[in-house]
Amino acid sequence: MPPSPWHILGCGAMGRLYAAQLSRAGIHVVLLPRQAPTAKLLDIEITGLSHSRHTLPWEPPGATGPIHQLLVFTKAYDVAPALAGIGHRLGANSRVILMANGMGYAQQLHPRLPTLRPAFGTSTQGAHRGSGAQVQHAGHGATRLGMPGVPKAPDWFAPLEQALPDCRWESDINSALWRKLAINCAINPLTALHHCLNGELAARPALAQQVRALCAEISTVGAAAGQQAALAGLQEQVFAVIHATAGNRSSMLQDLSSGRRTEVSYINGFLVQQARQHGIAAPLNQALLQAITAKEAAIT
């Protein structure tokens, strides 16, 4: 019996990039686009740092039949409603990996899908949509997957580890999620507000100073939340990411530029919630949350 396909929910740039990488490795991929395409198959053309073309099957939102393996690349605010929409296709043994930015969205899942026990992932790969079927592969990076309470990689992880570049199992996925959250808190909103590439946060002294101040505040909140070890050396990590992705446009900048809602509520907003929970002030993150929210209100 052939292995079950990996379904991909969320067919934006990152979902399509991962679909192409899995397909290139010989893994059967089925896309779950929000709106049904006009063609029977969906074309993907990867350009930029890697090049490949793929023609992949897709299923409409109302399709039936079980989904055994699922990667979710929706925006954080769409995770719960999108999964609820296909909840009839998910069983107790379905493998679901949530790859959204930020934190806090998993708690919104439980009332809708109380038996779901998802895995979580982070990615430092970069991609953005081009014209037509094109996806620009804009940044090499790592993929880290894991499940709370599962320190060793399960058998189903092996094909993903072989297919995806620099893909590893995280024994403590919560720490990895916190590290990614902290880096996003320090980079994404500043690039969105100043409409600049990541590299400008280091090249412009005033912005670099804001990054350093943000890192200090984020580290304080993280320590109160029990994540001091996860955020050790945060400032160095943040500037390393800024230099490594100097030519990239953050997802938050891309969203604002395209008139879309951002994930700031699940990034800086989550950090502000954690600060309040532990009785700590986080004025810098609060100010960024308010500024991005105001920009969203003006364009949406």
Residue 101 contacts residue 266 (beta carbons within 8 Å): yes
Number of Cβ within a 10 Å radius of residue 14: 24
Q: Which residue type sits at 247?
A: G
Could you confirm whether 40 is annotated as catalytic? Answer: no
Q: Point out the catalytic residue in the list 75, 152, 180, 295.
A: 180
Contact 166, 83 (CB under 8 A): no
Q: Which residues are catalytic?
A: 180
